[in-house]
Structure 1
Amino acid sequence: MEELLLKLVTVGLLAVIGWIDGRTMEIPYALSGALAICALADFFLFPGLPVGERLMGMVCVSVPMYTLCMVVKEAFGGGDILLLSIMGFYLGWRALLPGVFLGFLLGGLEAVWLLASGRAKPGEGAHMAFGPALCLGLGISLFYGERIFFWYAGLFG
């Protein structure tokens, strides 16, 4: 019951982060800090996930995104990268990957819609908030991430 309560608090934080990022294109550090507290609470209260999987989750997506930002200016915001690092520690790499995939899929669909509707023009430096799509994907992954991962991995073996 306590684990469900922690997940519901986390989903609430993800919803607020997604909403604020969608309106301001910024993720407040205070909310990232609250999310980190949830990740640490999960680590200490529910230690079923090995530390190595959590640490791999922290870096497997956030480090490549940060590296890409070094090459392509403003490819992602720092808040998005921090969000993925924190949630990577919370979820571990197996549950993180489906959440990131869903986030990229939803963000890509939003970008296509913005371009098709004329709300954004290619090549004009248009930006969009990526946090809402990431938060939705990560929220789904919080409950179903490992199941999605093992279902997908089972397709190949």
Structure 2
Amino acid sequence: MRGNERWLLELMAGTLFLLLLVRACLEDLRRREIPDRIGVLLVAAGLCCHIAGISPPGCGPGPLEFSERLAGFFCVSIPLGTAACLAPGSFGGGDIKLCAAGGFFLGWKAMLSAGAMAVLSAGAAVAVFLLTGRISRREGIPFGPFLCLGMTAGFFLGEELARWYVGK
């Protein structure tokens, strides 16, 4: 594959990924639900990227191995799923599926960064909302927008953020 073709494929895949995240964010804000088709499209985009040998800009210089994508699928979705089982209502199924699909697209390093950023930013937002009286302790907020924010950061800066988190 020539440089121009590769660049165009990377641009198309990245644009699709970011547009799907925007859609997921808007759906979660509006309906408190993330449609399954968004996750399916993210996984399909990840498979196409794997076959074409391309990776997001924040995922290092070379293409992601299939094992890195598979690890990305599970590395944040399993902890979220476990939390949802232990504390019902903490996370919805759409959040968990979005994490899995986004992780398959991004790979495990970028997805760990994305998950950490999502949890930290959501925690900060909840603290502000509680302190200002915008929500009560019994109310929840949609987590999807914070996942989308984290995955966007992971898309552009995933490996760099992962190194910063672990202090290397």
TM-score (norm 1): 0.90
| Mapping of residues 1-157 of structure 1, within 5 Å | 1=7, 2-46=9-53, 48-122=63-137, 124=138, 126-153=139-166, 155-156=167-168
TM-score (norm 2): 0.84
Higher relative contact order (CA 8 A, sep 6+): 1
Instruction: Give the stretch that moved more between structures: 44-53 or 69-78.
Output: 44-53
Q: Is the 8 A contact 1:103 1:137 kept in 2?
A: yes
> Which runs of no fewer than 5 residues in structure 2 stay unpaired?
1-6, 55-62
What per-residue deviation string (whole Å, max 9, x for no partner) do you get for residues 63-97 of structure 1? Answer: 12112222111110001100111111111111111
4+ long deviations beyond 2 Å: 150-153
Matched to 2:52, the amino acid is L
> Which runs of no fewer than 5 residues in structure 1 stay unpaired?
none
Matched to 2:69, the amino acid is R
Residues in 1 aligned to 2:49 and 2:109: alpha-carbon distance in whole angstroms: 16
Residue 22 of structure 1 deviates from its aligned partner by 1.2
Count of matched residue positions in the alignment of Structure 1 and Structure 2: 153
Residues in 2 aligned to 1:149 and 1:32: alpha-carbon distance in whole angstroms: 24
RMSD: 1.5
Percent identity between matched residues is 34
